[in-house]
Amino acid sequence: MDIIALMFNLDGKVAQNPFMDNQYGWILNLVFYAIFFAFIFYGQKLQMWVMLRDVETSLYKLKHLKEEGRKVTIETIKEIGKPQTDPTSRIDRFLEYFTIAPQNLDPAGVVWKLEHILDVRDTRFKDEVKLMAPSADETQANNLENTLEAEMALNYIYKVIRHFYLLGKKTFSLYVIMQIQMILPLVMREAEAYASALKAFAFGQPIGDGAGSLVAAKLMHGQETRKLPKDCVGATIQLEGRTAFVLKAEGPGGNVGKPGDAIKTVIDENEGKIAMVVMIDAAMKLEGEEVGEVAEGVGAAIGGPGVDQFKIEESIVKYHIPVHAVIIKEDIGDAVSPMRKEVSDAVDKAIERTRQLILERTKEGDKVIIAGIGNTIGIGQ
Amino acid sequence: MEGTKAQSNGKVRIPMFVLLVMLIILAFCLTAIILAINMFESNPTIAGYLLLGGVLALAAATYALMQVRRRIASLRIEAPPVTTTIECKKCGFKSVRPFQRGDYVFKEAEKCEKCSNPMTVTAIFKEIKEKDKEHHSF
């Protein structure tokens, strides 16, 4: 009892209500004004601390995702590739690889320069994977390459966010901290998508981006297939009295192929006598739209750095071939993580829409190209 | 599914040190509340302050514990299980099983339980539970 009285400095007497008492009221007033002026002069600093704390929390999560991804990658390479030596240092070195985009000060011919650089990158990645995982077959090597690329993306995101966080802390500039804090929710979404993708690639599961490939695979399944440039396969089928050249990237390893080259080859082989090109791909949905919604439009439905889109557009313009697109909607997380049931179910709807499109826009006996675009991981033919 | 080996069992583990600190704070809160109850008749004002302080500290400690739990839970990404659908082209028998490494769409899978013909993988997908899906009225 005495200790409590001492704690409250009351000498054994108890104040009735210290908050209403005049003796203590001025202290409360003083505290109020102190806080008021502190917020006036240091409000921005407090706001920056809160923002920095926000970025720091996300940075911890990014670090966790990166470390987890690295662990999964190393384990998968050891399990599948059975290397003689520990691949950890080689993997860590691989994660730091970068690609320098070509100079576009004079844009003429930049596509070919970009294509060349991407080819060099691809060859280098494949060689590195062979060295890391000598026992992996072609399908497994492609999956491992995709796994490493997902981990590279996670590593890069972590480093960029860490850079801005440390720069913000060092300069204590509101604008440096603010710009990264504002885009953080979107960055985190992307990082989580890559983390899911990494696991899907490591296990060779089909991903949402493969919706287009799955459409083509369903159409060509059971038919004789042939290889097309580059890393693509094609089959000739009869569809509603038309001859359809169905093509996709060669599966089931993680691969997007070069549909631009494949479409160009088929068009050239038929001397441009193609009534229509239909491209089927997964596309980004807007918030509020349903996953697996199928929509139709015109144009070359293909993502990536733009080289293949350029090549397709060049080929179709040369022979004035109409190009139509069927898309299956999903968000970034769905596109790179294991395929959702809604997307898998939408494949049949996309086939039906393609069939309708061909029926309505071409005549019997015409030749059409149906190109299923996307990463064909976990999808055979 | 092999993937589940790398995933956690769904429980959130709070670090021992944090748990220990929280338990000490909770012990202090409980002592303050018990002290307040004991001296309620002899000194109601001090008992009131002790009770108020104890309850507030208890609420703050519980909130902090929940925050730590939430933060740890946010670090984990829950991956829904991936299933493989296999079908027999001859008799139409359909079976669904967890995904196994090496499965791919149109792969020739195990033999049919009914007619012993080889079955084919026809779909591989993950199913998101209804409660995890986004709901909006627009």
Q: Kindly state whether residues B66 and B88 are assigned to the same domain.
A: no
Query: What's the pLDDT band for A229 if we cut at 50, 70, 90?
Result: confident
pLDDT of residue A4: 47
Query: Model ipTM?
Result: 0.81
Query: Is the separation of the CB atoms in A119 and A125 below 8 Å?
Result: no
Strands A367-372 and A242-249: parallel
Q: Kindly state whether residues A339 and A352 are assigned to the same domain.
A: yes
Residue A21 has pLDDT above 50, yes or no: yes
Question: Is residue A24 domain-resident?
Answer: no
Q: Which residues of A touch B125 (CB under 8 A)?
A: 206, 338-341, 343-344
CB contact under 8 A, A206 and B124: yes
Q: Kindly state whether residues B68 and B88 are assigned to the same domain.
A: no
Tell me which chain B residue has its CA closest to the CA of residue A339: B125
Distance from CA of B105 to the nearest CA of A (A): 5
Query: Is the separation of the CB atoms in A369 and A267 below 8 Å?
Result: yes
Calculated CA dihedral for residues A16, A19, A21, A23, nearest 10 degrees: 120
pLDDT of residue A66: 94
Retrieve residue B104's tokens: 């791919």
Retrieve residue A15's tokens: 């104040």
- For residue B53, the enclosing domain spans 13-75
Q: Kindly state whether residues A171 and A247 are assigned to the same domain.
A: no
Averaged pLDDT for residues B66-91? 81
- Mean pLDDT, chain A, as a whole number? 89
pTM for this prediction:
0.81
Residue B56 has pLDDT above 80, yes or no: yes
Q: Kindly state whether residues A312 and A247 are assigned to the same domain.
A: yes
Distance CA A365, CA A240 (A): 9
Q: What residues form DSSP beta bridges with A245?
A: A236, A369
- Which of A180, A178, A208 minimizes the C-alpha distance to A196? A208
Peptide bond into A159 cis (omega under 30): no
Q: Kindly state whether residues A170 and A313 are assigned to the same domain.
A: no
Question: Is residue A240 domain-resident?
Answer: yes
Number of helices followed by number of strands (H, E) in chain B = 3, 4
What pLDDT digit, counting tens, does each position of A135-156 carry? 999 889 999 999 999 999 999 9
Tell me which chain B residue has its CA closest to the CA of residue A348: B123
Residue B58 has pLDDT above 90, yes or no: no
Q: Kindly state whether residues B101 and B61 are assigned to the same domain.
A: no
Q: Kindly state whether residues A253 and A224 are assigned to the same domain.
A: yes
- Which of A260, A250, A261, A264 minimizes the C-alpha distance to A213? A250
Q: What is the DSSP letter of A362?
A: S
CB contact under 8 A, A378 and B102: no
- For residue A224, the enclosing domain spans 208-372
Give the CATH number for residue A344.
3.40.50.1470
Task: Choose between A13 and B29: higher pLDDT.
Answer: B29
Alpha-carbon Rg for chain B, nearest whole angstrom, is: 28
Question: Is residue A19 domain-resident?
Answer: no
Averaged pLDDT for residues A268-288? 94
Q: Which residues of B touch A344 (CB under 8 A)?
A: 123-125
Q: Which residues of A touch B127 (CB under 8 A)?
A: 340-341
Q: Kindly state whether residues A191 and A278 are assigned to the same domain.
A: no
Calculated CA dihedral for residues A311, A221, A350, A205, nearest 10 degrees: -80
Strands A367-372 and B82-87: unpaired
pLDDT of residue A149: 92
Tell me which chain A residue has its CA closest to the CA of residue B136: A288
pLDDT of residue B132: 63
Q: Which residues of A touch B99 (CB under 8 A)?
A: 203, 205
Q: Kindly state whether residues B54 and B92 are assigned to the same domain.
A: no
Query: What's the pLDDT band for B5 if we cut at 50, 70, 90?
Result: very low
Distance from CA of A379 to the nearest CA of B (A): 5
Distance CA A318, CA A138 (A): 35
Residue A2 has pLDDT above 50, yes or no: no
Q: Kindly state whether residues B67 and B121 are assigned to the same domain.
A: no
Q: Kindly state whether residues A196 and A292 are assigned to the same domain.
A: no
Domain boundary at A185, A203, A221, which? Answer: A203
Query: What's the pLDDT band for B16 if we cut at 50, 70, 90?
Result: confident
Query: What's the pLDDT band for B77 if we cut at 50, 70, 90?
Result: low
Contacts of A73 (CB under 8 A, 6+ apart): A91, A147, A148, A151, A198, A202
The answer to which of A65-74, A159-168, B60-69, B119-128 has the lowest mean pLDDT is B60-69
Question: Is residue A2 domain-resident?
Answer: no
Tell me which chain A residue has its CA closest to the CA of residue B42: A1
Q: Kindly state whether residues A214 and A359 are assigned to the same domain.
A: yes
Domain boundary at A137, A169, A203, which? Answer: A203
Question: Is residue B2 domain-resident?
Answer: no
CB contact under 8 A, B107 and A252: yes
Averaged pLDDT for residues A63-91? 91
The answer to which of A89-93, A223-227, A342-346, B78-82 has the lowest mean pLDDT is B78-82
DSSP per-residue letters across A308-333: HHHHHHHHHHHHT--EEEEEEEE-HH
Question: Is residue B5 domain-resident?
Answer: no
Q: Kindly state whether residues A61 and A177 are assigned to the same domain.
A: yes
pLDDT of residue A15: 47
Domain boundary at A203, A228, A247, which? Answer: A203
Q: Which residues of A touch B118 (CB under 8 A)?
A: none
Question: Is residue A197 domain-resident?
Answer: yes
Retrieve residue A255's tokens: 């691969």
Q: Kindly state whether residues A240 and A321 are assigned to the same domain.
A: yes
Residue A6 has pLDDT above 50, yes or no: no
Query: What's the pLDDT band for B12 if we cut at 50, 70, 90?
Result: low
The answer to which of A319-328, A350-359, B46-55 has the lowest mean pLDDT is B46-55
| Residue contacts between A and B (CB atoms, under 8 Å) | 91
Q: What is the DSSP letter of A258?
A: -
Query: What's the pLDDT band for A320 if we cut at 50, 70, 90?
Result: very high
Q: Kindly state whether residues B30 and B60 are assigned to the same domain.
A: yes
CB contact under 8 A, A8 and B46: yes
Q: What's the full length of chain B, in residues?
A: 138
CB contact under 8 A, B128 and A340: yes
pLDDT of residue B75: 67
Distance CA B45, CA B55 (A): 15
Question: Is residue B3 domain-resident?
Answer: no
Distance CA A315, CA A270 (A): 12
Q: What is the DSSP letter of B14?
A: P
Residue A355 has pLDDT above 90, yes or no: yes
Q: Kindly state whether residues B87 and B70 are assigned to the same domain.
A: no
Q: Kindly state whether residues B40 and B93 are assigned to the same domain.
A: no
Averaged pLDDT for residues A168-196? 91
Query: What's the pLDDT band for B131 if we cut at 50, 70, 90?
Result: low
Residues of A with CB under 8 A from a CB of B: 1, 4-5, 8, 14-16, 57, 60-61, 64-65, 72, 75, 192, 195-196, 199, 203-206, 214, 217, 221, 251-252, 288, 337-341, 343-344, 378-381
What is the H or E stretch that residue A228 is in?
strand A225-228
Residue A367 has pLDDT above 60, yes or no: yes
The CA distances from residue B130 to A57, B127, B134, in Å, are 29, 9, 9
Number of structural domains chain A divides into? 2
Query: What's the pLDDT band for A215 if we cut at 50, 70, 90?
Result: very high
CB contact under 8 A, B77 and A65: yes
- The proportion of chain A whose per-residue pLDDT surpasses 70, expressed as a percent, equals 94
Number of structural domains chain B divides into? 2
- End-to-end CA gap in chain B: 37
pLDDT of residue B101: 87
For the beta carbon of residue B23, count every other beta carbon within 10 angstroms.
12
Q: Kindly state whether residues A156 and A247 are assigned to the same domain.
A: no
Q: What is the DSSP letter of B132?
A: G
Task: Choose between A11 and B38: higher pLDDT.
Answer: B38
What pLDDT digit, counting tens, does each position of A111-138 carry? 999 999 999 999 999 999 999 999 999 8
Q: Kindly state whether residues B21 and B43 are assigned to the same domain.
A: yes
Distance CA A365, CA A192 (A): 48
For the beta carbon of residue A240, count every other beta carbon within 10 angstroms.
13
Averaged pLDDT for residues B79-95? 88
The answer to which of A43-57, A207-221, B69-83 has the lowest mean pLDDT is B69-83
Strands (E), A81-149: none
Q: Kindly state whether residues A197 and A243 are assigned to the same domain.
A: no
Domain boundary at B53, B75, B97, which? Answer: B75
Domain boundary at B75, B101, B119, which? Answer: B75
Query: What's the pLDDT band for A12 if we cut at 50, 70, 90?
Result: very low
Distance CA A96, CA A119 (A): 18
Task: Choose between A82 and A3: higher pLDDT.
Answer: A82
Strands A323-330 and A276-284: parallel
Give the CATH number for residue B122.
2.20.28
Q: What residues form DSSP beta bridges with A283?
A: A329
Averaged pLDDT for residues B54-66? 86
- Which of B39, B23, B110, B100 minimizes the C-alpha distance to A5? B39
pLDDT of residue B117: 86
Tell me which chain B residue has its CA closest to the CA of residue A289: B138
pLDDT of residue A366: 94
DSSP helix/strand/coil, A338: strand
Domain boundary at B52, B75, B98, which? Answer: B75
Q: What is the DSSP letter of B105?
A: B
DSSP helix/strand/coil, A143: helix
Question: Is residue B108 domain-resident?
Answer: yes
Identify which of A16, A196, A380 has the shortest CB distance to residue B104.
A380
Distance from CA of B107 to the nearest CA of A (A): 7
Find the angle CA(B127)-CA(B131)-CA(B132) to the nearest 5 degrees: 60
Question: Is residue B6 domain-resident?
Answer: no
